[in-house]
Amino acid sequence: MNNPFLRVPAQEKIIFARHLAIMIKASMSIVDGLKMLKKQTKSKSMAKILDQLSTDVSNGQFLATSMEKFKNVFGDLFINVIRVGEAGGILYENLNYLAEELKKKNELRKKIVGAFIYPVVVIVATFGIAGLLAIYIFPKIVPVFQSLNVKLPFTTLALMAVSSFLLHNGLWVLLGLVIFIIAILLLHKIKLIHLLLDKIVLILPLIGKMSRDYNTANLCRTLGLLLKSDVKVVEAISTTADSLSNLAYRNELKKVSLEITKGEEISTQLEKNTRLFSPMLSQMVAVGEKTGNLSETFLYVSDFYEKEVDEIVKNLSVVLEPILMVAMGIIVGFVAVSIITPIYQVTQNLGR
């Protein structure tokens, strides 16, 4: 039943948690709530899932047990929070926590993705314009240059070589680019390569700090939500580790989870790896452990790092914009100069 091809947008899962909480608060049964949600959803995948959930729950299964059939859609975090809510009679509260925290995590992810949309659009537009000039416009002018007894500048000769290469091998270049992208995606599925790439991202200038803050915010929010939902500490840390996409953080949290079972404190384990976990995080966790208020501490730290990510995203656009403009100017300018310079030389010769 755990269909790997089922995909449900994050927003649909947020709506599911929030609306089901409202229905339970209104004394509606879970089965009726699931059936109503099925009528409201616009996602075909979600409709299939809700149909199965309502069938299972009406046959006496717990909601969390039925949701385990769709673990690839909901994940351990979602299922564990609902399981604890059902067991403790606080399903309404836990669904509300879940909806709110998922919303914040989704907004944070959108900010990160949005930060890279502008640079990608500028880069694609730059190479698109340069390619258009080099492949379609420049070859029509080259015969004119060759028919005249004019010494061509280096920039024009270089552009002629590039243009000729692309005209004769353009399809092979495109095929090579597609193969390269597919190879990267396939290699990323190999854990060792995935871990290596994740570690490289963490040490890159500017992007590395953004990645560290993003992963810290995510793990703190997930851990805070699980602890607030009365999930045991060891299970909460293990579930949080599985929810993280960065393997460096995932592996380190797995180690922390193992040490906690031996009676060690979370803050002590975090202090051992300041490369991934900042001193501020371990200090705040130490305070939370002493006061017995770990869940609120993690959620507070998550808010702090989300604001840090916001600042980095703003600074990223400020830093990248002039760099991209200069790069675009150089590339397009090189093509333009390569075309205009010989024309200028010809007109100069004709005027003599």
Look over the chain and give the mean of its residue pLDDT values, rounded to a whole number.
Answer: 84
Last residue of a domain, one of 62, 89, 116: 89
Tell me the two tokens of residue 258: 């193992």
Is residue 261 domain-shared with residue 126, that is, in the same domain?
A: yes
Is residue 291 domain-shared with residue 326, that is, in the same domain?
A: yes
- Distance CA(335)–CA(340), nearest Å, equals 9
Please check the confidence at residue 16 and state whether its pLDDT lies above 60. yes
| pLDDT at 248 (0 to 100) | 92
pLDDT band for position 352 (50/70/90)? low
Residue type, 39: K
* Other beta carbons within 10 Å of 335: 22
pLDDT band for position 284 (50/70/90)? very high
Answer whether residue 332 is part of any domain. Answer: yes
Please state at what angle helix 10-25 crosses helix 91-132, rounded to 10 degrees: 160
Enumerate residues 6+ apart whose C-beta is below 8 A from 114. Answer: 313
Answer whether residue 94 is part of any domain. Answer: no
Tens digit of pLDDT for each residue in 95-154? Answer: 888 888 888 888 888 888 887 787 888 888 877 877 777 777 777 777 776 676 667 778
Whole-model pTM: value is 0.75
CATH number, position 185: 1.20.81.30
Is residue 348 domain-shared with residue 204, that is, in the same domain?
A: yes
Please check the confidence at residue 219 and state whether its pLDDT lies above 70. yes
| pLDDT at 350 (0 to 100) | 58
Provide the domain count of the chain: 2
Bigger pLDDT: 257 vs 348: 257
Is residue 67 domain-shared with residue 182, that is, in the same domain?
A: no
Domain that holds residue 48: 10-89
Is residue 189 domain-shared with residue 64, that is, in the same domain?
A: no
Is residue 272 domain-shared with residue 334, that is, in the same domain?
A: yes
Enumerate residues 6+ apart whose C-beta is below 8 A from 164. Answer: none
Last residue of a domain, one of 63, 89, 115: 89
Is residue 112 domain-shared with residue 79, that is, in the same domain?
A: no
- Distance CA(1)–CA(186), nearest Å, equals 26
Please check the confidence at residue 351 and state whether its pLDDT lies above 70. no
Is residue 48 domain-shared with residue 117, that is, in the same domain?
A: no
Answer whether residue 69 is part of any domain. Answer: yes
Tens digit of pLDDT for each residue in 290-320? Answer: 888 888 999 899 989 988 888 888 777 777 7
Tens digit of pLDDT for each residue in 331-342? Answer: 878 877 877 777
Is residue 112 domain-shared with residue 81, that is, in the same domain?
A: no
User: Which of 225, 223, 224, 228 has the alpha carbon at shortest distance from 238?
Assistant: 223
What is the Cβ-side half-sphere exposure of residue 70, based on CA atoms within 13 angstroms?
Answer: 22
| pLDDT at 148 (0 to 100) | 65
DSSP H helices, 26-137, are 30-40, 44-58, 63-67, 71-88, 91-132
Please check the confidence at residue 2 and state whether its pLDDT lies above 60. no
| pLDDT at 348 (0 to 100) | 67
pLDDT band for position 54 (50/70/90)? very high
- Distance CA(219)–CA(352), nearest Å, equals 74
Please check the confidence at residue 226 and state whether its pLDDT lies above 60. yes
Last residue of a domain, one of 89, 112, 138: 89
Residue 311: C-alpha distances to residues 112, 284, 291, 308, 348 (Å): 11, 21, 30, 5, 54
When pLDDT is averaged across residues 172-190 and rounded to a whole number, the result is: 87
